[in-house]
Amino acid sequence: MSDPVIRAEALSVVLDGRTVLDDISLEVVPGEVLALVGPNGAGKSTLLSVLSGERVPTSGQVLVDDRDVRTFSPLELARRRSVLTQDNSLSFPFRVIDVITMGRAPWTRTDEIARDGEAITSAASRADVTHLAGRRFTELSGGERARVSLARVLAQDTAIVFLDEPTAALDLRHQEDVLRIARDLALAGRAVVVVVHDLSLAGAVADRVALLSAGRLVAVGAPSVVLTADAISNVYGLPVRVVDMDGRPLIVPQR
Amino acid sequence: MRRAIVGAALGALLVGGILLSAVLGQFPVSPTEVVGSLLRAVGVANDWAPADPIAESTLWVIRFPRIVMAILVGAALAAAGAVMQAIFGNPLAEPGVVGVSAGAALGAATAIVLGVAAVGDYAVAALAFAGGLLATLLVYFVSRANGRTEVVTLLLTGIAVNAFAGAGLAFVLFVANPASREQIVFWQLGDLNGSLWHEVVVVAGVCVVGVVAAVLLGRRYDLLALGERNARHLGLDVERLRIASIVLVALLTGVAVAFVGIIAFVGLVVPHIMRMLLGPRHRGLIVASAFGGAVLILAADLLARTIVPGAGLPIGMLTSLVGGPFFFFLLWRQRRRSGGWA
């Protein structure tokens, strides 16, 4: 296994006296998809924002390429990692192609600029938004906006990719597209960290799953090892059945 | 193609406006005399130049400085409006509406009453800048929440700042002597009358530097449209951009207000029209807004000083007369689109 690109050491986040993340240590290696799962309020999105360098932890530290993430300038960081947030709003009616092109902003004034056209075209086609290129972003549906934002993140073309609930607004087919994109990124040697709500989706896409509960890391490892009926029932407070589907766990609530 | 047409139209309007402004007025000067006088000034001897020294001094002492001032102030205010809308992420932000102009006017009026103005034009401009800066900072930090600006909070903050600055102006008016009073009323109404070359030079310096800086920051403003979080993830140093832009808005507004008073709504109307014509990309938008603002103020000033024979109307009154309903229209449309005062 290659050296980790992200190493989180004893992360804790306290907000208004409430412990949101409690002593979490985690590594992300190139070529893997790591899924963060857990109930609402478990701290998934907070962990993602700490790992991406957006939020400074109350204690502990995040190392990106063995370097404290706080020592990176915003631009340096933007060339190492991209982040898909759940914020798909836009203040002014830019065209879709302009929005995707914004993903190339970190590479302005570098040699990478030569790859702009190719990166944008490829990102748009992978996120299935090529046909939307001339439309105004503000006129799109929620799912279309989410895909355009994904295309923007893909165009940024970084070694580390964070995706915060990338499937939330999407229909079945586009959910599968996103999973395939995440897998392809990992195959190409990128490190992908993704927050997902659907445990079966997590089981299907991830190389490793990190299960969080009330700010603590309950377990991290291969999906079939972490996503057991017992662990999930405990964390979610809901009895579930886990069905094995071609070696991937499929989680069904007991009804 | 579209950019070329808009550019050509703005250029034609600007040249036409300059010629018309130079020709029209109480003392008639013919267009050929204007061209001739300009040519002579750059060292080309010609027959068109006016032989009458009164025509010559009407042009060079009264009309030309006024025209250049109108162009500079229009460009400064419209560019300031575009920058403000970019950092607030809201098309309704404008120096006049949210109280930056009023803050600057209060600063300038205070300079007059305290006698600082005797130090020179720069003192008035500096205090106007300080007042504008304070107002911008206040509005910005009060109306921002979670990286976005809510329209309601923005406008309510604007009301509060305008009310406070208005009260300040009223107080300054109250303590001032009659001569200063007249000058302070001038700030409340806005007027290009009596622009002098040495004032024009001050405004020109700030205006050129400010507009160029705004254009250079244009790409970053584009990223800011994605929201602060996404912009930061794309490598933008949002904090620095924000501070730089607030200073920029205060500089452009402050210097315009210091010498011509409050001219509201230019920063609202012009960037909005340019956005409709050219799209929201900020580089082109700021350049076009600067030219559009110049044309608008030039036209408004021409109207203000010719519409009633023998009397000059305050230009600020005229722009607000048009800008007020326009602002209302924008508000109504935004409300309808978002289904509430979001």
pLDDT in tens, B2-52: 889 999 999 999 999 999 999 888 888 888 888 888 888 888 888 888 888
- Mean pLDDT for chain A overall: 93
In the predicted model, is pLDDT for residue B145 greater than 80?
no
DSSP 3-state of B256: helix
pLDDT value, residue B293: 96
**% of residues, chain A, pLDDT over 90:** 86
Q: What's the CA gap between A29 and A5, in Å, rounded? A: 6
Answer yes or no: do A87 and B227 touch at CB < 8 A.
Answer: yes
- The residue to which tokens 């409430």 are assigned: A18
- Mean pLDDT for chain B overall: 87
Contacts of A83 in chain B (CB under 8 A): 230, 233
Domain B65-338, classified CATH 1.10.3470.10, yes or no: yes
Answer yes or no: do B225 and A91 touch at CB < 8 A.
Answer: yes
In the predicted model, is pLDDT for residue B148 greater than 80?
no
- Report CA Rg, chain B: 20
pLDDT value, residue B27: 84
CB B98 within 8 A of CB B157: yes
Residue B317 vs residue A226, higher pLDDT: A226
Q: Which residue of A has its CA nearest to B271?
A: A92
CB B257 within 8 A of CB B104: yes
CB A53 within 8 A of CB A64: yes
Q: What is the band of B264 on the pLDDT scale with cuts at 50, 70, 90?
A: confident
In the predicted model, is pLDDT for residue B185 greater than 90?
no
Q: What's the CA gap between B185 and B183, in Å, rounded? A: 6
User: Would you list the domain boundaries of chain B?
Assistant: 65-338
- The residue to which tokens 């030079």 are assigned: B201
Answer yes or no: do A156 and B234 touch at CB < 8 A.
Answer: yes
Question: Which of A49, A81, A92 to mutate: most B Cβ within 10 Å?
Answer: A92
Side-by-side strand order, sheet with A59-64: A18-28, A6-15, A59-64, A67-68
In the predicted model, is pLDDT for residue A78 greater than 60?
yes
* Residue partners of B10: CB distance under 8 A and separation at least 6: B288, B291, B292, B295
From A45's Cα to the closest Cα of chain B, the distance in A is 13
Q: B91 phi and psi, to 5 degrees?
A: -70, -5
pLDDT value, residue B340: 46
Q: Which two tokens stand for residue A128?
A: 């299935």
Express each pLDDT in A171-194 by its tens digit: 999 999 999 999 999 999 999 999
From A78's Cα to the closest Cα of chain B, the distance in A is 5
Q: What's the CA gap between B183 and B169, in Å, rounded? A: 11
Closest CA to B225 of A98, A83, A107, A155: A98
Rounded to the nearest 10°, the torsion over CA A46, A51, A53, A55 is 20
pLDDT value, residue B121: 67
From A156's Cα to the closest Cα of chain B, the distance in A is 8
Express each pLDDT in B75-133 by its tens digit: 999 999 999 999 888 888 888 888 888 899 899 888 888 877 666 767 888 888 899 99
Express each pLDDT in A227-237 by its tens digit: 999 999 999 99
Express each pLDDT in B275-315 by its tens digit: 989 999 999 999 999 999 999 999 999 998 888 877 778 88
Closest CB from B90, B222, B235 relative to A75: B235
pTM of the predicted model as reported, rounded to 2 decimal places: 0.90
